[in-house]
Structure 1
């Protein structure tokens, strides 16, 4: 009997101890025991999460008290960058600010360090990290003209993308072309891989043009994201416009509106006429090889050393030196569509071809009139000047 009584007393004491312990916990809750950092400071996306979509939003918040400080660092391409942000007026929510409006970057690691003060004035700190998705496919744009180039007044800014662009409006928005002195510059799409920019009229000499690409993480097509965030610039030099009269076999060269010289030329023969219209110099070669098979002809010619070759179209129209034809300059058209100037084998600065080459810039305009051919297509080389301003602007994805 005594043993049973002692056991009952010990059990009662143990139960009392349990109740007292539980009562202490309850008392601590009532007295305001600090909440864990995970409960007090809530970070989205979740800690240690991988492959986070760029559509998720970065946010730090507390249900009570206020945030004292928030520091977010983005690490990408082995470079760290502080993510700017601001607290809401009540001090309970932090959101990123700046370009992109808080959109997360691809292929990046984010580190969040936040300090908060709860309703009882006690401080807590939380450290979290997450990584964003790495895209399988990227696109880039190749820019014409070259960075820091000095070009003629007819230069058109050309972006050629390495992949088809389906979200053209988003890509167009991420590219800006600005000029000093200021002038309206409008975009025009040619197909799904090319975006050109130009003003209404030829650039004013001395204009400084800046091309800014903010394509990084822009979705150009489903699952295909941009890679570049770069700035290019070029300067517009003097004005030079040359007028080729295919019918009369001459070319007038005007510099800043003044006639420099009139040169005898030969243009395309009746069976292979030269395009009419405005063409822009896109490439200059001291010497090059020209093979008829590369431009859709048969085996009519293969000249390994064409001197002073100035490219006018992507399809193969050049203004170049010619040493193999005699007695044709200024009198007849015998070429396969190019514009020829008298030259000598190996080229010479003393010939009409050498004289013109030495006075030409990429971006200069050569306009052909009087040919029996059609007008050059606006996407053949830098032929966009052959479109009127309203039609040009209508080619914007956001028009």
Structure 2
């Protein structure tokens, strides 16, 4: 039986064919013949080999330096060997478009890489390079907090500390992407050449998920400083808790998700050792720790081996912690500490009903503690994770992007 195509289908097919052939219509409406350029036709079928190093390049990444990607074709042969002839084995992907070594390359080693690929119609392309990988001594690493998988408070910045001074701050900052499921814009700020923090304008939205993409592999941060890290980590923001200490009223009000949760009686810094004012972030929680005055400029004034329920607020030694050695009468009435915020507690910290234990159990790293009405200045933004004490304009001015 003879079938006739519908006219509409023929029209669509004709137009598709015309577009594919690059047709043109003359003044009389006649279709011109497709004039395919021989050069264009060759280019369309010639595979394109992409490598992660240039010929003669030094300081090449040990993770990416030997990898191969091919467009408009498939890999037919890869040869990767050290300058002294040791062969590096690898595998082609199922698509035939990528090849990777079985293991990372050696540091400070010369390699020769040759790739052959075939395109449609059997047209071949070959590319060969020689390169040298980065020396182990020329690496830099960024340690960061918080860790992947953790749950933190709304004030927790993403803070990187680099083991070498960074001179190309823009390259390093641009290789780290921090985003939030809340959609909040996140900006980096450099505290000197070794520290880079990221935060939004306001505290993180409660229950949001923060994604940190660390793509430093191959990034030159300074002379003799090349990154190798390439990973993505995620952490979760918990409920929103901000506690405000009124040093003159000797009280701390704990507010969770906008609602007052509890008011605790405290003792803050004595007149000759006042507590910093400002927004401080809990950076560490210690069930018990030793506090020696000699480490913070108060040698001989105290050395307590078992301070319970200690939560760090500054690098310089400010904590919120349980206090079992002060008489009950000082809490809510007078300031006797050497700069910390003290809560009533018992030796050993074993009584969960004590204020020190309660606050410890109900706090997360990343929670905010705001101190007001202390006879002292505002804490420095880089003393701990306390960049919230800068205006948003000041914070953005410290970005290298």
Report TM bin, short chain.
0.7 to 0.9
Q: 1:206, CA displacement in angstroms?
A: 1.2
Give the ranges of 4+ consecutive aligned residues of structure 1 lying more than 2 Å apart after TM superposition. 49-55, 66-76, 78-83, 105-113, 121-136
How far apart, CA to CA, are the structure 1 residues paired with 2:149 and 2:50?
43
- 1:150-171 C-alpha deviation (Å, 9 max, x unpaired): 0111111100111111111110
Q: Report the counterpart of residue 183 of structure 2 in structure 1.
A: 182
Call closer, same or farther: CA 1:125–1:51 in 2, change over 3 Å.
Answer: closer
- Root mean square deviation, CA, Å: 3.5
5 Å-filtered alignment, 1:132-143, equals 132-135=132-135, 136-143=137-144
Which residue matches 1:24? none
The 3-state SS of whatever aligns with 1:278 is strand
- 1:358 paired residue number: 361
Give 3-state SS (helix, strand or coil) of 1:385's partner: helix
Which residue number corresponds to residue 288 of structure 1? 289
Distance change >3 Å, CA 115–CA 357, structure 1 → 2 = closer
Answering whether residue 351 of structure 2 is matched by residue 335 of structure 1, we say no
Structure 1 residues 108, 357: closer, same or farther in 2, change over 3 A? farther
The residue number in structure 2 matching 1:171 is 172
- Please state how far the C-alpha of 1:296 moved relative to its aligned partner: 2.0
Note the residue ranges of structure 1 that are not aligned, 5 or more in a row: 1-40, 61-65, 88-95, 97-104
Counterpart secondary structure, 2:330:
coil
d(CA) in 1 for partners of 2:151, 2:145: 12
| Cα drift, residue 346 of structure 1 | 0.4
2:386 maps to 383
Quote the residue 1:346 is aligned against.
348
Q: Identify if the C-alpha distance between structure 1 residues 205 and 373 changes in structure 2 by more than 3 Å, giving closer, same or farther.
A: same
Structure 2: unaligned runs, 5 residues or longer: 1-46, 83-87, 99-106
Measured after TM superposition, the shift of residue 270 of structure 1 is: 0.3
- Determine helix, strand or coil for the equivalent of 1:396: coil
**Looking at CA atoms only, which structure, 1 or 2, has the larger radius of gyration?**
1
Matched, 1:253 2:224: no
Measured in 1, the distance between the counterparts of 2:308 and 2:254 equals 20
Could you tell me how far apart the structure 2 residues matched to 1:366 and 1:265 are? 13
Q: Which moved more, 1:122-131 or 1:172-181?
A: 122-131
Q: For residue 33 of structure 1, what is the aligned residue in structure 2?
A: none
TM-score of the superposition, structure 2-length normalised?
Answer: 0.73
| Equivalent residue number for residue 301 of structure 1 | 302
Q: Shift in Å at residue 376 of structure 1?
A: 0.5
